[in-house]
Structure 1
């Protein structure tokens, strides 16, 4: 019979070749979920759907939705599922491979929440130390006293100013000190400054120190070294008691420098 009905019957087999869904099995469902994540982000997924996707690798040919919902019912929340022990997950029906995978998620989250390692300045050579001083101290006022706190690899933890009260060039000229005067200086600004530096070193877990003085214009570097002698000696005496090493005391002035350690002055 040649009519519209005949033409319609001929068209039906062609229509059946294009199903509504590419797949009705688990693989099609997984493909659609992946598409959602790619198009809308993981925030578009419900908790059970996130858990479904986490279970995909360990359950390659089976729908993971029933297990995901059962786990949420059993443990109460997604966080509780991810924080559960391997034994608890196995008892709830999770296979060995997925137990290992789910156990990785909290560790990954902790790692992502940890700040990246800080890239610290290496002060382990004279060239590095002097280059650092040239770069960072060019604009500081004369008379400034800095302390570099270093770790066990001579990498810079902090660079901080030492309060100038009582530690200026005029207040300590490195003269011979009598025992009575030395005892009287126990409460002096020098002692207080040393105590503050060492307390800060403990707080930073510093292994070593370098102190740097920018010499006064009216002082030669050598005279400035003599003026700082009491301060340096107090650090040398007390730092080892806290397992902190004083590497050196440096005096800088207009590109010239002096080192207590190299000069050997009371070191």
Structure 2
């Protein structure tokens, strides 16, 4: 726990120079500092994802906090593809954790992934993909060790130790609800469920912080993925926002966050129509 606290402080104060990180397959007489940063960032992603196996809720929350700051500091466009999608893959299961604080922390991580810039194509695919295949790391033989190169591959990255069946229980059940489209982003669907739209999950009590963070995720989605992830399901999003604005049982906070989300969507719609030469 103490190590995670120190790591969080280091990452928070290191955003400026971590943005210079890169990875290269070219061999040279010396290793540039930017490449060393890239390798360090890769190892941090790997270790933090492995740390998500922790049973302690406090440690798990701190790991998720570190991941959210790390995502904000990482220039994924200068690193090898697949790094961000692996983080999304590992964090995905925690959005339905029994502890509401863990749910909020995982939604924050995914919101940071949505807001990451420059945008990398793998992010959209990771949020649209409904199921993931989890590979089991096999023990290496002497022959495979000799053939191993210093470049990173998908097998180098170990995933959180849970089965694909567990994940299908989290996401698959929601996608079978009436009115849901098969191509809807699983993250958007979970946020809508948290706000009381569709599915059996919406009938259960959802903690206020989870609802607030779900609205924040939808706001983050407008920044880079309005047309691809949100526009096809605008009627459901509108229904969720109306329900949040009319919800009198959760206090003023839900109204403020819902209004802020409406503002984000309105600004994005305005810029979209202006770019197309239309007027509202």
Q: Which has the higher helix share?
A: 2
TM-score scaled to structure 1, two decimals? 0.26
TM-score scaled to structure 2, two decimals? 0.25
Ranked by relative contact order (alpha carbons within 8 Å, sequence separation 6 or more), the top structure is 2
Q: Which has the higher strand share?
A: 1
- Higher Rg: 1
